[in-house]
Chains A and B, each alone.
Chain A
Amino acid sequence: MIGMLHAPYVIGSYVITFAGIGLYTWRMLAQARKAARQVPPQERPWT
């Protein structure tokens, strides 16, 4: 278990890491939805 002495640094590093990844992912998917409104599904090579 996490000792109390360095807990703020350890938990802080995990929170910053996953918040950063989450924020990037959310922004990317929002950009995808916005762009996809202007591109019909049949023009998306992966579908």
Chain B
Amino acid sequence: MTGFMTSTTSPSPRDRAPTSTTFSRALGIAALVGIGWLIVFGLFLSPNDRVQKTGVRILYIHVPSAWLAYLAFFVTGLSSAAYLWKRTRSLTWDRIAGASAEVGVLFMGITLVSGSLWGRISWGTFWTWDARLTTTAFLFVTYIGYLAVRGLGGTHQQRAKRSAVLAILAMLEVPLVHFSVTWWRPLHQNETVENGKLSGLMLFSLFVGLIAFTLLYVWLVLHRQRVLTLLDQVDDQGLDVAIAERRNEAVAADVTVQEVSS
């Protein structure tokens, strides 16, 4: 083990990308190609909108990132339920939940920032306390809280159980955000795609964005859950070393007591 840690030879491809496999590399390349397409279609090939002019181009990253955040939080909730159910209980579900929540927070942050820039163009302000924006910000803060709870101390099983309960509760917020535009009729527009407001190259650009972000999401979650596995293994090693040290100290103290008493 020590030899492994102090090796001075040049790192192998496996060490340079320890969470990679052939499948994940292919997925990563597909995601990169998708992002390239998204930039080309989103910024150059798609036409301007009649009303929003150039501002519509933000749609191609804003909508996919929002959908991916929803998907990520749904996967977090589902994986958490799988962990809590005794028949499927495994720390892999907990790590998938944690990885998906992290990526979901990233996409939700992108949604808020891109939406804020789009809002400046459409409404003349970066932020307004309308129902969609407020519920989205609330969802974002909730999942930051979820990640903070995952970082609290305890065993892996304690972490998994408490964060699984929180994830299932937090998932209930997702429909609240999604339907806020129909329940409260805020400043934020209704669903663009479902109402058939997009067509032709604009609709195609949006789907390119959706596919690119979905591939990216899968790639990120795959790698992140592997990183979490590695971190858990490092944690376990640290615990094993600490237990061995305490045992050695106890044995040494026992020997000293016997020597003194004899």
A residues at B contact (CB < 8 Å): 1-3, 5-7, 9-14, 16-18, 20-21, 24-25, 28-29, 31-33, 35-41, 43-47
Contacts and interface: CB of A to CB of B under 8 A. Distances in A.
Chain B contact residues: helix, strand, loop or mixed = helix
18 contacts: A1-B44, A9-B55, A10-B54, A10-B117, A14-B43, A17-B114, A31-B231, A32-B17, A32-B18, A32-B226, A35-B230, A37-B15, A38-B233, A39-B230, A39-B237, A41-B14, A44-B18, A44-B229
B227 interface: yes
B58 A10 contact: yes
Interface string B162-181: 00000000000000000000
Contact of A35 (B42, B110, B121, B227): B227
B220 A25 contact: yes
Contacts of B43: 2, 10-11, 14
Contacts of B117: 9-10, 12-13, 16
B58 A9 contact: yes
B223 A29 contact: yes
Contacts of A43: 233
Interface size bucket, B side?
Answer: 35 or more
B75 interface: no
B55 A20 contact: no
B234 A35 contact: yes
A46 B226 contact: yes
Given A16-B114, A25-B220, 9 more contacts: A6-B55, A10-B43, A10-B117, A20-B109, A32-B223, A32-B226, A35-B234, A44-B226, A46-B19
A2, A14, A32, A38: most-surrounded residue (chain B CB, <10 A):
A32
A31 B227 contact: yes
Contact of B224 (A14, A28, A40): A28
Given A17-B61, A18-B35, A6 B53 contact: yes
Interface in B99-129: 106, 109-110, 113-114, 117-118, 120-121
